[in-house]
Amino acid sequence: MKTFALSAFLLTAPPVWAAGPSPPAPTPAPAPASTPLRCLDDNEGGACVWGKVEGFDGGAVQVRGLHLALAGVSVPARRDLCASRASKEEFDCARPARRRMAELLTKGVACEIVDVASGQLWGRCRVAEGDLGRLLVQAGAARAAKDGPYEEAQKQAVLAKKGLWAADMVLPRDWEATRRRTEDKAEE
């Protein structure tokens, strides 16, 4: 009877050479990153599109096949040249806006379509960090449209000399006129 119990133990026990460090406990699946941006439920019945950005330029995004210009902002055209007084180099004025857009759009976008004019869709867009138009204007990469919702953000960017409003920047003529008007209003 003793041999039967010993042989049963040997047959069911793992071999000694298999004993070693126990396998690591399974790691839990990583928690999903932040939830994707979606349209707000209270957009008053307006059309909204959200998702991964398929393409963009300094003042527009393409989402789900729709090209939306950002309402309330103006970005210099690619043909507009800016220069730095310090380095004496000219560069495409829209480049800072495209660079900032690339940083902001990595987590997706949700855009409420606010207008359709001359075949162009205009939208107000949100990214994970907030209102896309406001963020571009605050960074000095875009100019607020006259009587638009971002005038205060532009005033702050001009006074702080951020982005294209930096003291050593040589801007296109219409941007320089905007800078002077804003600085004059601030002095009043």
Render pLDDT for 11-39 as a digit per residue (tens, 0 to 9): 444 444 344 444 444 433 333 445 556 77
State what percent of residues in the chain have pLDDT above 70. 74
Task: Tell me how long the chain is.
Answer: 188
Distances (CA, A) of 138 to 77, 91, 155: 19, 21, 9
Topology of the domain covering 44-187: OB fold (Dihydrolipoamide Acetyltransferase, E2P) (2.40.50)
β-bridge pairing 143-144 and 60-63: unpaired
Residue 36: per-residue pLDDT: 55
Per-residue H/E/C for 89-111: CEEECCHHHHHHHHHHHHHCEEE
101-157 per-position pLDDT tens digit: 999 999 999 999 999 988 899 999 999 999 999 999 999 999 998 888 999 999 999
Report d(CA 183, CA 188) in Å as an integer: 9
Q: Does the structure show a pLDDT above 90 at 168?
A: no
Q: ∠ at Cα 84 (81, 86), nearest 5°?
A: 160
